[in-house]
Structure formats: C-alpha cells, structure tokens
Chains A and B, each alone.
Chain A
C-alpha cells in the first residue's frame, strides 16, 4: 500500500503566469477550500515535494529554472500544469517571448484548464495526480529502482529477436495514431533486422535480464541519424527513453550534427526531442496518412 496518496507534498512555481492561477492555488490552501485535509502541504523546497504545480507558460529565461526544479525533486513525482497558459500558452501563445506550454520543457501528467483555473478544478487536478503518483510508484518498485540498476548497453545480434518483438509491441500505439498498420517498424522481418546489425549500432535497456528498451543509430557524413527509440509500454514515462538517447549521443559524440524523425501527429515525441535540444527543420509527406517531421541538433547544444 503506498502512502503517497495520503501525504502529497506540493511545490508551486509561476512560469510567466499573470498571477491569476497562482492566487487560486494559494486560495486552495486557504480556509474555504483547504487542501490540507487531503494531507497536502505546500513546501517551498523541491527536495521535499511530490507534486509540481506549474502555472503560466515557458519562456527562454525560465525553462532552465523549471528543469532545475524538476530534476531536484526525488522520484516518484508528477507535474500538474494549471491554467490554459501552462497547457498551451493561452492568450499569449503568439507573443514573441513565449515558447508555449509547460510540455515544451517537462513531461506533464495532468492539465487543469481555466483562465483563471478555479480552486475546485485545481483540487480535482491534484486528486487525479495522486492516482498517477501511485501508479508511478508501483512501476518504480517493479523496476526495482534504487535496489537494482537499469543497464544501458550495446546490443548484439543475439538480441535481435527480442528487440523485434519489443519493436512490434511499442509501435502499436503509433500505428493506431495514424490508422496505418502497414508502417515500416511493424513490417520489418527478423532477417532484415539481423542484416541491420552489420551497419547500425544498437543499444538496449536491460532490467532483470529482460530487454525493455532499445535505440539504434549510424553516422554518415558527420551527421548521426538516430531512430527506432522504443520503450516497453509499461515502462514508459520513467526516463528510460532519455537515458537511451543520452547513451547513443555520447557514443556518437564525435559527430557534429544529430538527426531524428517522427510522425507529425506524435506530439509527445516531438516535445520529447525538443526538450533534448532538437529543432524541427523539415516536414515531408510519406503517404496520405502520415507526414514525417525531421528534427536536428548541433553538437554544441548538448
């Protein structure tokens, strides 16, 4: 039984908020709405917090601050974006200094709409965040984080079958997004994959002897092409994708440019790469159902 649900400690930060949502967050802790009856304490210290309440959108100056606060929070943790500015930039999304909502910088778990979001919505958002928090805790326990190390290592040809099975499982959700099941990752055969091992470097994420993630890449003309980043659906959103990317980028550290691609509807992937420093430079039509978005990063941005 996890006690995270009974004692969630929050930390609140204001991005570029006009203050409306912030005072509603403080009003949730005041007598009429009283979040403390759920056990919520407003600690000002990221190291003591479980839930990160952000209001307001992101601009260049506060993106590092927000990432800093997020990284200081111990696991498990959830991010709740409060107000429409935190969701997408709101009425200010066209301003020159606004990058967009919080999901450009952090993985957001709950979005609370409103301008300004009412305390009732905020309390509802925090309640839903509690369920997600417990969920994450169970996954972390399953991963044995802290008692066992998740290993990221180069993969070899014996792993091909396992990686292919994982690939077909992980790309199911992408295929559903485009309603296109004749999609290259799902169509690749085992012999094709084994052929790839000769020219492409594969990395695998292993835990308890089972492969739960993988990524592959190669270098051509000083550009490193990274693709097929997959993580088992149960273990997504726990930072494994980022670890895989870090490992392969480090391995190919001598390249001066990195390129990735993803489908145009895969907003989570696009945001994920943006957080790692990639920027979109090309969009190409693959077939009637899908466009591909290409993103690049230069070596000095790592």
Chain B
C-alpha cells in the first residue's frame, strides 16, 4: 500500500492566476483523486439586475470577467435587443465583430503565455505577452481601454473607428502575422514543449460530447461546433470554418487556439474591407418585455445569456451560463491518473476563467 499524501493546490498558488482549490490525493507524484472546492470569486452579480437598470447593467456584465469582457457585454446587449426587437445598424454589427475578434486574439495570446509559464518556459511567456501588447495597443487606440472596453451598449456601439484607422489596423496585422508565426512555431514544433503537451489529458470524441465540453476543448476532440456559425453580429457576412483537431490531448487544444489566432487576423481583415458606412447606434425607447436566450462564442467556448424582462426598466432575471462552467466536468475527468507535474498544464488546458464560472 503506497503512501498517500494530500497536497492542497490553491487557492493561492504561483501557477494559478485565479483562486480555485483542489485537494490532490497523490501516491508518489501520481494523482489519484482531485477534490475541488470553489466559491472564492462568487460575488452574486446576477441579482444586481434588480438594482441597476437594463441600460446600465452592460457595465456590470462586462466586468464578469476581464479577459472575455467585451463578448460578455456584447451578448448581454444582443439578449436585450432581441427582447425589444431592435435591429442595430450594420456598421455597429461589423464594429462589434471586429472588437470580438480582437478580444479573442488577446485572450488566446494570454492563455499561450500562461501555458508556457506553467511548464517552466518563462522566456516564451515573456515573448508571447510582448506580442500581446501590440494587440492591446490596437484595442486601446480604438476604445480607450486595455482590458475593459466599454464599447458595446444596448442599441449599438459607443465609438466609431474611422476608415483610415481600419486600413492601418489591417496593414499592421499583416506584418504582425510573421512575427507571430515565429512564436507559435515554438509551441507547435519544439520538442520540449511537445514532451509536456502531447498525450497529456486526452479527451476522446465521445467523452468530450457527453461531458458537455464547449469551445476549443470540444473542437480539439474532433467536433466541428462553433457558435459563431449561428451568424450573430456580422459573422453571417464572412467566410470561415471552425478549426478542428482530432487527437484530443493538450497539444491539440493548443494547436486549435493557435490556428484560431490566425483565423481571427483573417476575419478582421475581411471585415475591415467590407464594412459599410452608416450610423453606429439606434435610439432606445421604452422598456423590454419578454425573454430571450442569446448565445455567442467566447474565446473559451459558448456562452448563454438568458434574460427575462417584465416591462419595467429593471430586468426580472438574468442567468449566465459561461463556457468554463461547461468545461469543468472535463477537467475533473482528466485529473485522476495524471502526474503532479501535469496538474498545472491540465488546469490551464481548458482555459479556466473562474470569475466567469462563479460570477
């Protein structure tokens, strides 16, 4: 009978950017059981709809998570707009999509840096975040904020991007692609990185579907499911296919995110080319009455916003189902049987955003 030790992993741990607690039962560096304990970030913000009116609430929705912030705001706006049966102007749709893709890029770059750091490759972490600063520059140029954009609002967007800026963004992204390729090649081809990622945390195709995984976690196991294909905002006007890999291990999830990075650059350039002129917002009158399910694709997967309104300026109920919440069963399935050195890699491979999960 080998000796069992229990290691408390988190909530404060250098590898974890957010507090989550796992009691890892180990037998000689092999994880036998992982007992999670959550609730450190629960704020209870869904109840704030009763105190902040539906137009102001978009600022709270944006702050559910600082990394996927824009798309949270966007989905909330879509939910309320569909209840009120408002159609936002086309230019606003295009702008929203551009910011969503920029958001996706900075989130994937952030994830790549944290992943490199978790397996001890600090240089790669620094270089990836250095590349990410350039995307943040574009975002700051167009919205004024690096992390929380405050651009989406019910009825459209708050700021416009003029065509000269759009052209320069398009151009700079083209040259950016080559620099980015140098760094992503390390993730894909370097042998020590592969040693840490290949074969770690395998999720077979059937398992991924049954456990309810979403986003890159699902697409790396062979399913071609991407909520952007629903055609919300300006996605109906562009050409793209979901990125799919079949091996279902951490390496595949990494490759999916890297390919999505390049796909986003492509999408932004397509949008910058096609964007129509016109107004960027539409005036809101009256209060919402009704209910709607809005679904969009965040960098981590599909997010669902259920909003119910009853004719007053406060929404009656808002319920958010975030992608990390759907991916956690997959994490709990992958942990037993792995070694201690793999635990940070596994926790990061589903791209956890605990503040989204616990709201």
Q: Do chains A and B touch in the complex (CB under 8 A)?
A: yes
B-contacting residues of A (Cβ < 8 Å)?
A: 11, 13-24, 26-27, 30-32, 42-46, 56-57, 59, 61-62, 65, 69, 90-92, 94-98, 115-116, 118
Closest 3 CB pairs of A and B: A44-B14, A20-B66, A30-B129
| Interface: B337 (CB within 8 A) | no
Provide the residues of chain A in CB contact with B44, threshold 8 Å.
Answer: 95-98
> For the complex, is B252 an interface residue (Cβ under 8 Å from A)?
no
Measured CB to CB, the closest approach of chain B to A201, in angstroms, equals 40
A29 to B37, CA, bound (A): 29
> Would you call B15 an interface residue if the criterion is a C-beta within 8 Å of the partner chain's C-beta atoms?
yes
Interface residues in chain B, defined as those with a beta carbon under 8 Å from any beta carbon in chain A: 11-15, 17-19, 39-45, 47-48, 51, 59-60, 63-67, 69, 110, 113, 125-127, 129-130, 132-133, 145-148, 353, 355
Looking at the assembled complex, report how far the CB atom of A36 sits from the nearest CB atom of chain B, in whole angstroms: 10
Q: A247 vs B3: C-alpha distance in the bound complex, in angstroms?
A: 43
Contacts A30-B129, A31-B129, A94-B51; is A18 near B12 (CB within 8 Å)? no
Inter-chain contacts of A65 with B (CB < 8 A): 11-12, 19, 40
Give which listed residue, B12, B15, B41, B69, contacts A56 with CB less than 8 A: B41
Contact: B15 with A61, CB < 8 Å?
Answer: no
Q: Hey, which chain B residues are within 8 Å of A17, CB to CB?
A: 18, 41, 66, 355
15 contacts between A and B (CB under 8 A): A18-B63, A19-B17, A27-B133, A30-B113, A31-B129, A44-B13, A56-B41, A61-B39, A61-B40, A61-B42, A65-B12, A65-B40, A92-B45, A94-B51, A116-B147
Task: Report the Cα distance A97→B156, complex, angstroms.
Answer: 32
Contact A16 B42 (CB under 8 A): yes
Interface centre among B42, B125, B127 (most CB of A within 10 A): B42
> Are the C-beta atoms of B148 and A116 separated by less than 8 Å?
yes
> Measured between C-beta atoms, what is the minimum distance from A49 to chain B in Å?
11
**Complex Cα distance A136/B11, Å?**
29
Extra 11 A-B pairs, beta carbons < 8 Å, given A23-B66, A94-B51: A14-B18, A20-B148, A26-B17, A26-B129, A30-B125, A31-B133, A43-B14, A44-B12, A65-B11, A92-B45, A92-B63
A92 contacts across to B, CB distance below 8 A:
43, 45, 48, 60, 63
Nearest CB of A to B123, in Å: 11
Interchain CB contact under 8 A, A23 and B42: no
Q: Residue A32 contacts which of B41, B42, B63, B133 (CB distance < 8 angstroms)?
A: B133
Evaluate contact between B67 and A19: CB separation under 8 angstroms.
yes
A21 touches B66 (CB 8 A): yes
A13 and B65 form a contact (CB under 8 A): no
State the CA gap A11–B11 with chains docked (Å): 13
In the complex, which of the residues A19, A42, A98 contacts B43, with contact meaning CB atoms closer than 8 Å? A98
- The answer on a CB contact under 8 Å between A91 and B19 is no
A95 to B60: give the CA distance in the assembly, Å.
11
A96-B66 in contact (CB<8A): no
Q: How far is the CA of A18 from the CA of B15 in the complex (A)?
A: 18
Are A22 and B40 closer than 8 Å at their CB atoms?
no
- In the assembled complex, how far is the CB of residue A112 from the closest CB belonging to chain B, in whole angstroms? 14
Instruction: Return chain A residues, CB-CB under 8 Å to B15.
Output: 44
Q: Which residues of A contact B125 (CB under 8 A)?
A: 30
Query: Complex formed: what's the CA distance from A62 to B37 in Å?
Result: 12
Name A30's closest neighbour in chain B (CB-CB).
B129
- CB neighbours (8 Å) of A69 from chain B are 12
A31: contacting residue among B11, B12, B130, CB under 8 A: B130
CB distance from B201 to the nearest CB of A (A): 23
Find the B residue at minimum CB distance from A43: B14
Residues of chain A lying within 8 A (CB to CB) of residue B66: 17-23, 116
Q: Which of A31, A44, A91 contacts B59 (CB 8 A)?
A: A91
- Known contacts A14-B17, A65-B11, A95-B47: does B42 contact A20 (CB below 8 Å)? no
Q: Report the Cα distance A14→B145, complex, angstroms.
A: 21
- Decide: A18 and B110 in contact? CB cutoff 8 A: no
Residues on the B chain within 8 Å of A46, using CB: 12
| Distance (whole angstroms) from the CB of A175 to the closest CB of chain B | 38
Q: Quick check: B129 and A27 within 8 Å, CB to CB?
A: yes
Q: How far is the CA of A61 from the CA of B148 in the complex (A)?
A: 26
B42 A94 Cβ-Cβ under 8 A: no
- In the complex, what distance in Å separates the CA atom of A115 from the CA atom of B146? 10
Assuming the A-B contacts A17-B355, A116-B146, are A97 and B43 also in contact, with contact meaning beta carbons closer than 8 angstroms in the complex?
yes
| A27 and B42 alpha carbons, distance in the complex (Å) | 25
A30 touching B41, Cβ below 8 Å: no
Q: Which of A19, A44, A91, A97 interacts with B18 by CB under 8 Å?
A: A19
Other-chain residue from A14, A24, A115 in contact with B63 (beta carbon distance below 8 A): A115
A229 vs B59: C-alpha distance when bound (angstroms): 43
Contacts of B47 in A (CB 8 A): 95-96
A16 in complex: contacting residue of B40, B127, B148, CB < 8 Å: B40
A95: chain B residues at CB < 8 Å are: 43-45, 47-48
CB-based contact A59/B51 at 8 Å: no
B314 to chain A, nearest CB (A): 13
Name B67's closest neighbour in chain A (CB-CB). Answer: A19
Q: Answer whether A45 and B14 are a contact pair too, CB < 8 Å, given A18-B355, A22-B66, A91-B60.
A: yes
Nearest-CB residue, chain A, relative to B66 = A20
